[in-house]
């Protein structure tokens, strides 16, 4: 049942927009399914989208686990678009979640699959440079994402 990191590399990179005001929230989204609730569809990202979202209210936990969460809202329109995992609980950490601690609610965002440089193929996570929000695709830095295998 262990999901290897390699499977993430085959996922499409999606652009995430606020569904309320259509502002761009992040360009490194990944479709994710909550372990606890597979009915809920989410999009996650590894880079804090700090110029497009802001925290609202304070930390809380859900009933399913002890992760500390905090809602995030679109900076432009103020609607809640997802949450940030402030402090993951142990089970979640151990289940290795590819380092994505920013979640967008599929109800609150519209997403678009990104294309690679050719403009024909879908851009996959395996094609992305490590934690680089600029567009230089030529940095071939050694992978740092071997969290837990
Ligand atoms: Zn918005
Ligand atoms: Zn948890």
pLDDT for 3: 46
Residue 110 CA to ligand 1 centre (angstroms): 11
Mean pLDDT along residues 12-20: 97
Who has greater pLDDT, 94 or 117? 117
Report the C-alpha gap between 120 and 65 in whole angstroms. Answer: 41
Residue 105 CA to ligand 2 centre (angstroms): 17
Domain with 68, as residue range(s), is 10-126
Residue 98 CA to ligand 1 centre (angstroms): 26
Least confident of 24-28, 32-36, 124-128: 32-36
147 is a domain residue: no
CATH assignment at residue 73 = 2.170.150.20
CB 32 within 8 A of CB 16: no
Residue 129 CA to ligand 2 centre (angstroms): 28
What's the pTM?
Answer: 0.78
43 is a domain residue: yes
Ligand found nearest the CA of 104: 1
Count of the separate structural domains present in the chain: 1
Nearest to 27 by CA among 79, 77, 121, 102: 102
Who has greater pLDDT, 147 or 66? 66
56 is a domain residue: yes
54 is a domain residue: yes
pLDDT for 25: 97
pLDDT averaged over every residue in the chain: 82
Ligand found nearest the CA of 74: 1
Mean pLDDT along residues 43-71: 91
Residue 63 CA to ligand 1 centre (angstroms): 28
């Amino acid at each position: 049942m262990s999901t290897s990191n390699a499977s993430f590399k085959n996922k499409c990179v999606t652009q995430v927009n606020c569904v309320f005001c259509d502002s761009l929230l992040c360009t490194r989204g990944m479709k994710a399914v909550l372990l606890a609730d597979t009915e809920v569809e989410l999009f996650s990202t590894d880079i804090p989208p700090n110029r497009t979202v802001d925290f609202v209210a304070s930390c809380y936990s859900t009933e399913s686990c002890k992760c500390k969460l905090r809602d995030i809202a679109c900076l432009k329109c103020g609607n809640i678009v997802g949450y940030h995992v402030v402090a993951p609980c142990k089970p979640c950490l151990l289940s290795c979640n590819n380092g994505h601690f920013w979640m967008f609610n599929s109800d609150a965002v519209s997403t678009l699959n990104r294309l690679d440089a050719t403009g024909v193929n879908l851009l996959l996570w395996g094609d992305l440079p490590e934690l680089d929000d600029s567009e230089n695709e030529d940095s071939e830095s050694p992978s740092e994402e071997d969290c837990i295998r």
